[in-house]
Amino acid sequence: MVSIGELMHPYLKECELAAYGAKTQIEPIARLNLNEFQYDLSPNVVRVLREQAPLGKTYVYLGDKPTTELREKISDYVGVDAENIAIDEALDQVLNRLPRIFISPGDNMVTMSPTYPELGLGTKRAGGREKKVMLEEPDLAMDADKILEAIDNKTKLVFLCSPNNPTSLKIRRDDILKVVENANAVVVVDECYYEYCGETVADVVNEYENLYIMRSFSKGFGLAGTRMAYIISSREGCDAYNRILSGFEFNRFGVFGAMASLDDLDYYRGIWKKVAAEKDRIRTQYEKLGIRVWDSSTSFLFMDISVTGLTSTEVRDFFLEKYRILIRDVPATFPELDKKYISFGVAKPDINNLLISGMKEVTQL
């Protein structure tokens, strides 16, 4: 009798889930390690989700009225035509499906490191190979020339995360376009934190036929639990993407929640301003303690806590045990980094004040 392990594609054995959170018996009062939305959803969004609950027994499918209306709302928000928008249930799904369009066994994709792990795992699941271009300390900024140097005749995809996770840094527009213009490959730009960054290359999708842009409703609109994402590309790019969908991937709550969010932009713009103000306040306080904090273009802060004399794991455990706040031990997910980096999502002022107090205590241990 043959076993499942024997029949499984051998390259799937390298595709273990990335480690994002600590295993702990302590129930945190704030979970900031996954950069989740820390404010309340719009009351309008909550109302719409409740209204949709009794209809959860029925499908939402690609091309029906709700998904068509959602694409139109997204196109208005982005400032492109609806034909430049493709939708999917989550960015992680996009990162698994895009390689299936372009990657064959033996092909490769190029990305920077550290960056969001799913960028590479999707390629590995398709039988391809991930080529990493290491971001160099102390700045950990992307070098467009090094990305281009890593591309060879087997490269089918280039993934750029801007702003990058975990470093929180945006990539300069000129550097993104330099890669797009010179890469003989499809370039995918992850703009998951667009609402906090405000910079995009969506305006040039019809000028560059090798460009995909990915965004979601998880970070800026707080719909991480309902799952909804979209792609911005040329008409040909969106058509190619739709060819790998069954059409029945969609979550009713994601579709209607996303539409309700876009109908309540004034509410969310107010939240984005609050996050920006709190982010600046925390950064200022941490820098006074001698901690290096990156100039974040996201909803989280990334920092070097070497001044504490503690490792990132020790600092994470301190905040969890004393304050019941779960922050991110970055090297636990990105072992290529020294154990001196932590990050956490920006919370409401009361939780942020605890973070400031805790770091003052940590620097005095």
Q: Using one digit for the tens of pLDDT, what is the confidence trace for 42-84?
A: 999 999 999 999 999 999 999 999 999 999 999 999 999 999 9
Q: Rounded distance, CA 154 to CA 123, Å?
A: 13
- Percent of the chain at pLDDT > 90 equals 90
| Span between the terminal Cα atoms of the chain, in Å | 60
Quick check: 343 pLDDT over 90? yes
For every residue of 144-179, DSSP letters joined together read HHHHHHH--TTEEEEEEESS-TTT-PPPPHHHHHHH
Q: Rounded distance, CA 161 to CA 146, Å?
A: 15
Q: Rounded distance, CA 234 to CA 237, Å?
A: 5
Question: Do residues 205 and 213 make contact, with C-beta atoms less than 8 angstroms apart?
Answer: yes
Quick check: 2 pLDDT over 90? no
Average pLDDT over residues 326-342: 95
- pLDDT in the model for residue 195: 98
Residues 225-262 pLDDT 10s: 999 999 999 999 999 999 999 999 999 999 999 999 99
User: What amino acid occupies position 298?
Assistant: T
Quick check: 22 pLDDT over 60? no
Model confidence at 23, pLDDT cuts 50, 70, 90, reads low
Closest C-alpha among 168, 160, 60, 69 to residue 112? 160
- pLDDT in the model for residue 100: 94
Model confidence at 273, pLDDT cuts 50, 70, 90, reads very high
Question: Are both 4-40+266-362 and 54-264 of the same fold?
Answer: no
- pLDDT in the model for residue 141: 96
- pLDDT in the model for residue 365: 65
Question: Do residues 142 and 175 make contact, with C-beta atoms less than 8 angstroms apart?
Answer: yes
Residues 6+ positions from 233 with CB-CB distance below 8 Å: 84, 86, 205, 211, 212, 213, 241
So where are the chain's domains? 4-40+266-362, 54-264
Average pLDDT over residues 191-199: 97
- Percent of the chain at pLDDT > 70 equals 98
Q: Which CATH class is domain 4-40+266-362?
A: alpha beta
Quick check: 175 pLDDT over 70? yes
Model confidence at 15, pLDDT cuts 50, 70, 90, reads confident
Rg, the chain, Cα only: 21
Q: Which two tokens stand for residue 353?
A: 């004040």
Q: Between vectors from CA 85 to CA 82 and to CA 88, what angle results, nearest 5°?
A: 135
Provide the 10 A C-beta neighbour count for residue 288: 11
Domain 54-264 falls under CATH 3.40.640.10 = yes
Provide the 10 A C-beta neighbour count for residue 321: 11
- pLDDT in the model for residue 20: 61
- pLDDT in the model for residue 21: 55
Average pLDDT, the chain: 95
Distances (CA, A) of 162 to 169, 176, 361: 7, 9, 33
206 - beta bridge partners?
none
Average pLDDT over residues 168-180: 98
